[in-house]
Amino acid sequence: MLSILSSDSGKFCDGVSRRNFLRIGGLGLGGMALPDLLRAESGGSSSPASKGHKAVIMIFLPGGPSHQDMWDIKTDAPSEVRGEFRAIKTNVPGIQIGELFPKIAGMADKFTFVRSMVGAFGGHDAIQCLTGRTPRKAPSGGWPSMGAVLSKMEGSVNATCPPFVGLSPKCGHDEWGNPGPAGFLGPAHSPFTPYRGGGKEDVVLQGVTLDRLSDRKTLLASFDKFRRDVDNSGMMKGMDSFHEQAFGVLTSSQLAAALDISKEDPKTIERYGKGTEKLTADGCWKRLDQFLMARRLVEAGARCVTLGFSRWDWHSGNFNRARTDFPLLDQGVSTLVQDLHDRGLDKDVSVVVWGEFGRTPKINKNAGRDHWPRVSCALLAGGGMNHGQVIGATDRLGGEAVERPVHFQEVFSTLYHNVGIDARRTTVEDLGGRPRYLVDDLYPPMPELIS
């Protein structure tokens, strides 16, 4: 918990004591003090990575979206499989997708549609979409997510923005709101999570919480006053570099500005849309501004941003729910990807959209589709990859991958490649000091995307 604002008497004019200033808490980073996390992260060196800033935005669709109604419409399947949606043409000849994604269809040359994802372990959990691994037979501490690995290996781009940020809220079924575990890499590499409790609710600075970030003027005035009070006290001279970095994260306008979308051009905000903060049952929310926030965070210095969108476990009412959620997803994802291109970030920022598994080919009696781990789908964009293509194919009913099956770890290998890491040749040490490869040797980067 962040304890910058204090009622104790102390050296600062707002009553903040030295003890409370230095007791900077978890900030959503696993509960350790932020200066301690920065020390642990440094591994003996506080130098940032020398590479250019590459980043990954991971969009998780909790519950398992129905691939047959999105990117893999089965026009010649019987009605009990085909469903209610027709296929529409895209701006890439020969590629068709579901009719409720007209914006993505109009810019399909900027996307890759993977129709043959395999290897899902079948649990209602974001873990495989965050780590590439199943939780089965995991090493002590668990597998680290991509964000944690990038935090460990690449470090911070700058001292004022965490390298790993998770925007998902705390969900009723919290495996769906998992922002990405640090696993055996330890809490120093956990994500900054402003919306999961212990983050947004606990970050208070001069009386301003992250809930009030829309009030830009008040926020900056509070940051400026806090910095002025500390500088005038002479305390900064007595702080080591890690406390100074922690202070920089908390008071820099970069992190605050990234989370405050009000400074954007109103036309940009309008293009993204707002959506809703209301949680969908035990799943996630349908916030469209989090797509904009993700772009702003990578510009501020984040190497990995994860977010969750809605709840896709549609055992009933599949088509009615799709008519609400598909257009929202279409708007959020298409706007994000176009924005990345417009800002010259499409070569540096990779985007992946997927869920934990697919849905049954046959529609059940409640107009829903049930769990189907045998095959699912993914949508990829950015990262300097070769887009405007479909990878893989399923059978006539959409139940089995019959052409170019793609494993989760292949996608991870590709995403790591995009940020300059050879995942099959790179290791990180687990809690026992054993080197662990980022992906298994079986899974190279996808040649269709990087050749």
CB 155 within 8 A of CB 49: yes
Whole-number pLDDT of residue 255: 76
CA angle 369, 370, 375 (to 5 degrees): 95
| pLDDT of the residue at 206 | 42
- Tell me, what's the pLDDT at 240? 53
pTM: 0.84
Residues 6+ apart with CB under 8 A from 292: 261, 264, 268, 269, 272, 335, 336, 339
Tell me the two tokens of residue 319.
């088509």
Phi, psi angles (nearest 5°) of residue 218: -65, -40
**pLDDT for 331:** 98
pLDDT means over runs of 10, the chain (451 residues): 38 40 37 48 41 87 98 95 96 98 98 98 97 95 98 90 94 97 94 74 45 51 59 55 55 73 93 96 97 96 97 98 98 98 97 98 98 98 98 97 98 98 98 97 97 76
Domains of the chain: 54-178+264-450 (3.40.720)
How would you classify the pairing of strands 349-354 and 304-308?
Answer: unpaired
